Structure 1
Amino acid sequence: MAVQPRARTIVLTLCSALLATATTALPARAEAPEAPAAPASWEVRGPNGSPTAVVTLDDGRPTLTVRRAGRTVLEPSPLGLVTEQADFSEDLTFTGRTDRTINERYTIPTGKSHKRVARMTESRFRFRTADGARLDLLTRVAPDGVAYRYVLPGDHGDVVREASAFTFPATAEAVINRYRADNELPFIRYESAAAAPEGTYSMQALFKTDGGYALIAESDLTGSYAGAQLTHAANSPTYGVSLWNNDPIQVSGSLTTPWRTVITGDLATVTESTFTDDLAPKSRIRDTSWVKPGPALWTWLAGGKEAGQSLEAQKKYVDYAAERDWPYEVVDAGWYYKPGEWDVIDPDWQTNSWMPELVRYAAAKGVGIHVWLHYTLLTDPAEREKWLSTLERWGVKGVKIDFMDSESQERMRWYDEALEDTAKHRLMVNFHGSTIPKGMQRTWPHVMTLEGVGGEEKRNNTAAQLAALPFTRNVIGSMDFTPGAFHRPFRPNVQSDAGELGLSVLYESGIQNLAGTPESYDARPEARRYLEQLPTGWEETRLLTGDPGRSAVLARKAPDGRWFIGGTFAGAARSVDVPMRLGAGKWLVETVTDGPSGLVREPHVVHGGDTLTVPVVADGGFAALACRWSPGRTTCDR
């Protein structure tokens, strides 16, 4: 039956109502979540042959990746810091980038070479938080490394912590040492970065990755900040950056943090690198003519406390240094104490001290005097001025300052003050119980050396430690290991006088403090002859061969063109093959090795690039001296 028009209207109306009711009863369709923004990445490329740094912003969190020759050195690693008023580690927005090229030439009295060239690309990445606070990430890439630092143009309160960390590939090996305030604990080799025990480690950590070696360090550390350590959780390939004692960094105004550095390349590139110096500020001393490195006879291990209180004993040491043509003698603790007392300062030390007489006596023989001071004598500005001005007036050449044992912001401020004042009084400096250089020697070239190592006077060294130091601590700057203590029964190479002799070259120090007794040198004429020829500094450094923690052989070029070579080896006695990477042509190489009756010197004529086979005893080493060969030449003596 056909539907009438009125009936059709009723049916349509009813259907519309039912449809509306059904539609209302259905749940609303959920909107699809907004897809996260794709990570933004920016590459920073340095001069030819440099690694590549990749800065990435992923969901507001910045990271850094380092690659070399297409291989990974550093996996994406967190960046950023947190202050009292702002979190610069997340929810960041990229606002811009600027680039510049850095080409610098500078000279430095100490270190692996006197003349330096720094070539780097610098990129400044600008980020903002949701509240509008600005963080700049400054990144530099050089042929031997990548570095970054943070710049806060505004005042955002004290720094609470850093989000910075270094994440390594799972297969990376590690040579690292536990952190202690004096930086003296031994380095241990681990087959993987994740396998190291949970704990806090020094910022002088070496890792071997698919992309080459990577040494983590820092540069340009001053009193505006505090020293950093690496914190490691068990079974993790990530090493975070923590600040001294987790104390806040006091900030007033803008802030520029120290550089976090990754020195990277093959093992020779890392070992020979001057990257931490290259990143540091230029010298603050205009006239450095009074800054003169060189070997010194250090009398502490040679004569102990008694020598420190004896003018006559010190004169004998001066005589011995003069006979060897060593430019310095170092008087250690005791000289300003009351006679017979070992911890009581003579209140009339300025008038009672025999030091002026010793200085005059030494000067007449061409020997300069360095003296030991406990750092607490130099904490008060007025007292510091009294001590330093008096020493300058007496003619003392340098000071060995001891027992700082802290990298707190307060102690770093003290370093700033002490460096400025010792420079003003033209006193060279050796810091013991100290931080490690971290670029200090470029900014303050009167710093000859720093301890920051468990040196010859310690009893916990091993042969493996001797073979780790050239690739870790000594890469960063001068290291006062005080080699040459042949009389010490506790040295790990006690059966290898040749290995002990080689340490005088293997370890670089602006003042190479030789720690043996005159009697021990006289009993080893070949060692004495070699030490008498040590130069005042080096023009070039080359790694000849090595395996961190197992072996190391370095060659250092003297100003007269001769190469001094030192090698150390952990493990069984064997013959070792050493590439002679000294340059083209013929060379006369005089090796000093351990024989059945003492040290043996033997000449070899080799071509540059040849391999020289050298015998070493168990946990031993050797020393060598190389010069250009000419017909009839049989020795490299100057």
Structure 2
Amino acid sequence: MISPRPARFRIPPAVLFLLLLTGLRSAPALPPLTSPDGTITVQVQTDKRLTYDVRHEDRPVLTASTLSLTVDGVTFGHAPRLIAATPRSHDALLRPDVRQKAAEIREHYNELRLDFEGGFVVTFRAYNEGVAYRWETTLPAAEVKVFAEEVGLNFTGSHFAWFPEEQSFYSHNERLFLPRALGDLAPQNLASLPIVVDANGLKVALAESDLEDYPGLWFTGTGGNGLAGTHPPVALKEELTGDRDFRVTEAAGYIAVTKGTRTYPWRILGLARQDRDLLTNQLPWLLAAPSRIADPSWIKPGKIAWDWWNANNLHGVDFKAGVNTRTYEYFIDFAAANGLEYIILDEGWYQLGDLFTPAPDMDVPAIIDYGKKKGVGVILWVVWKTLDDHLIPALDLFQKWGVRGIKVDFMQRSDQAVINFYHRVNREAAARHLLTDFHGAVHQAVLTRTWPNLMTNEGVRGLEWNKWSAHITPEHDATLPFTRQYLGPMDYTPGATRNANRDGFAWNHFRPRSQGTRCHQLALYVVFESPLQMLADTPTNYEREPAMMEFLRAVPSVWDETRALDGRISDYVLTARRSGRDWFVGAITDWTARELELDLSFLPAGEFTLTEWRDGLNAGTHAEDFKQATQTVTNRTKLRLPLAEGGGWAARISPK
């Protein structure tokens, strides 16, 4: 609903009339735009340059931050001439098709739309959770070239940021989020999204949303207290190496060729007083375009038995395990026995470069039919370029076979053409009732509201990196909920049964393990968001772990409510989520053992049964040591949660 209360401010028409009559270049001072709760203030200046300041609780955060858009040789935002300023307030309750964090999301903001001469508009919004703005153009040309968009963020102090540094625009966006002083970041230091800035304790998350027919936003340093937006240019020439590495070999001097009349992506500054507030900040989802799927009833989130991380390493079976029909029938049996909705056929199921020819030992239609009999859907992995070259016939074949979804991999780009590819695949997949899971880049994570069949997205340095590196530490895990997850669901793929302490870890491609404790892995199913959540390890390893499977069978992949109870970036997280009448709680820590307090006052009245999976007394030296226990609790109960080094704690809380 639209709030009926009167607008907060309005530029007097007489003032605007006199401005136009006298032909003055300077504009009258605009009253500030404030968030509904009054804690955030945006002051826009429209004099010589279009700039804005942001304050939080009377503390300056950004000052004289700049924005401009250069289209067909004209730079909008320099010497702007204001025509009209239109305020608006909005307050509504939204119900997402896929419940990533909650069944209901409040959309509450104040808005200021600024119309300028020349056919361009800038709209600012102030939410209680942050600030966003976007461009809009109404130009006479049907098609225009966008040469640049300036996104200049000038912070008011020498802050530091969790900066996912990249080598180039050609990237999987699977980065480490490492703290860097803004002053140490030069224009050659490039980062993908999101970036989280610590502005004297206030966290500022940089993101975008409603990205379509336009390149993704990246940032560079400035050598000072700022960050500067940048975009990958339009590709003029490309070169394919193998079946997947499709690199730009010649780029244009512009970033997009697009419609003259359109809106542009939102630029987002999510603000969080406490680190944990980032975990429930919904601005990227709220600012996305509404769903384009008229009837989403066929979309079914769920959990997946995954083959690739564990290299199909079944054991104790009476057949040769590998990429073959019998192995995947076993995966289906395991999924059916444990209430998992899907299995995936990852790399190897087809002859690379040819989506229409399965591998010699794979009868894909038979596997899919076997899954149907067991109530288990099949998702197919595909290389993006191979799919794009044969999109319609390939998706038609998958639909004919009865495939439930596709996992699209290796894009490694976010220029305009590849962003359009993401939309095209989601649209065509939805028309055939296929779910999508995008790997190999991060920007499509902001499309999950527009295309609710897009279940999850990689662009994250996840568990698979344990197969060839030591990067996936408990500290990294405790960083991701505040950083990468801000954009949307992430296909991190938790669930390792072979766990190692700091000194006992060694990477192994075919029999991988995780860093941190067993309970750390279990807690990730609550801490991390992914409506299509993987079980990364081999079924025969899980079958040896009945206590672990008791939790993994029960934990949902979508949620009715999320409570961020405690957390500090890179140190620890404590999250509670509700599904129906059941609550699930997950806590993880870095390599520092610590004790957290769990206050159960969020529970309704009555008695509940709490079943916990906690680090064992010897988890500090044997990471797989854990204890399962049950107790009765109420909303007056407070618990102490002891976490080992790299440890975790997970629980299910059900009404008695």
State the TM bucket, normalised to the shorter chain. 0.7 to 0.9
In 2, are the aligned partners of 1:166 and 1:239 still within 8 Å (CA)? yes
- Per-residue CA deviation, residues 143-171 of structure 1 (Å, 9 max, x unaligned), is 21211011121157422112212222315
The more displaced of 359-368 and 519-528 is 519-528
1:405 aligns with 2:425: no
In 2, are the aligned partners of 1:544 and 1:580 still within 8 Å (CA)? no
Please give the alpha-carbon distance, in whole angstroms, between the structure 1 residues aligned to 2:378 and 2:101: 25
- Per-residue CA deviation, residues 78-130 of structure 1 (Å, 9 max, x unaligned), is 111222321223222222111223344232214111332322222211223xx
The more displaced of 164-173 and 502-511 is 164-173
In 2, are the aligned partners of 1:214 and 1:270 still within 8 Å (CA)? no
Which residue of structure 1 aligns with residue 176 of structure 2?
186
Change (3 A) 1:355 1:55: same
Change (3 A) 1:214 1:39: farther
Which residue of structure 2 aligns with residue 22 of structure 1?
none
Q: 2:220 aligns with which of 227, 231, 255?
A: 231
Change (3 A) 1:201 1:608: farther
Which residue of structure 2 aligns with residue 327 of structure 1?
341
Which residue of structure 2 aligns with residue 461 of structure 1?
472
Q: 2:32 aligns with which of 16, 34, 43?
A: 43
Change (3 A) 1:379 1:50: farther
Q: 2:124 aligns with which of 132, 136, 139?
A: 139
- Per-residue CA deviation, residues 521-578 of structure 1 (Å, 9 max, x unaligned), is 233332111001022421011111110111112111112x211122221132232334
Question: 1:408 offset after TM fit, Å?
Answer: 0.4
Question: 1:49 offset after TM fit, Å?
Answer: 5.0
1:477 aligns with 2:466: no
In 2, are the aligned partners of 1:71 and 1:210 still within 8 Å (CA)? no
Q: What is the one-letter code of the residue matched to 1:43? A: P
Which residue of structure 1 aligns with residue 300 of structure 2?
292
Question: 1:385 offset after TM fit, Å?
Answer: 1.2
Q: What is the one-letter code of the residue matched to 1:158? A: K
Which residue of structure 1 aligns with residue 109 of structure 2?
120
Question: 1:605 offset after TM fit, Å?
Answer: 4.5
Question: 1:365 offset after TM fit, Å?
Answer: 1.1
Please give the secondary structure, in 2, of the residue aligned with 1:301: coil
- 5 Å-filtered alignment, 1:209-608, equals 209-210=199-200, 212-222=202-212, 224-234=213-223, 236-245=224-233, 247-266=254-273, 267-304=275-312, 309-337=323-351, 343=352, 345=354, 348-349=357-358, 354-380=363-389, 383-458=390-465, 459=469, 460-487=471-498, 490=507, 494-559=515-580, 561-580=581-600, 582-585=602-605, 587-595=608-616, 596=618, 598-608=625-635
- Per-residue CA deviation, residues 309-329 of structure 1 (Å, 9 max, x unaligned), is 300000001101111111111
Which residue of structure 2 aligns with residue 26 of structure 1?
none
1:201 aligns with 2:215: no
Any gaps of 5 or more consecutive residues in structure 1? Answer: 1-34, 338-342, 631-638
- Per-residue CA deviation, residues 239-293 of structure 1 (Å, 9 max, x unaligned), is 1110115742213422421000111132343220221111111111111111000
Question: 1:396 offset after TM fit, Å?
Answer: 1.0
Equivalenced residue count is 579
The more displaced of 528-537 and 205-214 is 205-214
Please give the alpha-carbon distance, in whole angstroms, between the structure 2 residues aligned to 1:396 and 1:475: 30
Question: 1:349 offset after TM fit, Å?
Answer: 4.5
In 1, are the aligned partners of 2:172 and 2:441 still within 8 Å (CA)? yes
Please give the secondary structure, in 2, of the residue aligned with 1:42: coil
In 1, are the aligned partners of 2:496 and 2:514 still within 8 Å (CA)? no
Please give the secondary structure, in 1, of the residue aligned with 2:95: strand
Question: 1:301 offset after TM fit, Å?
Answer: 1.4
Higher Cα radius of gyration: 1
Any gaps of 5 or more consecutive residues in structure 2? Answer: 1-23, 234-252, 314-319, 500-505, 619-623
Please give the alpha-carbon distance, in whole angstroms, between the structure 1 residues aligned to 2:38 and 2:342: 42
Please give the secondary structure, in 1, of the residue aligned with 2:256: coil
Q: What is the one-letter code of the residue matched to 2:164? A: N
1:149 aligns with 2:134: yes
Q: What is the one-letter code of the residue matched to 1:616? A: L
Please give the alpha-carbon distance, in whole angstroms, between the structure 1 residues aligned to 2:267 and 2:299: 29
Please give the alpha-carbon distance, in whole angstroms, between the structure 1 residues aligned to 2:259 and 2:25: 37
Question: 1:615 offset after TM fit, Å?
Answer: 1.5
In 2, are the aligned partners of 1:110 and 1:293 still within 8 Å (CA)? no
Q: What is the one-letter code of the residue matched to 1:117? A: R
Please give the alpha-carbon distance, in whole angstroms, between the structure 2 residues aligned to 1:344 and 1:418: 18
Which residue of structure 2 aligns with residue 10 of structure 1?
none
Change (3 A) 1:193 1:552: farther
Please give the alpha-carbon distance, in whole angstroms, between the structure 1 residues aligned to 2:589 and 2:185: 24
The more displaced of 476-485 and 119-128 is 119-128
In 1, are the aligned partners of 2:356 and 2:394 still within 8 Å (CA)? no
The more displaced of 448-457 and 77-86 is 77-86
Change (3 A) 1:350 1:425: farther
In 2, are the aligned partners of 1:155 and 1:252 still within 8 Å (CA)? no
The more displaced of 363-372 and 521-530 is 521-530
CA RMSD across the alignment = 2.6
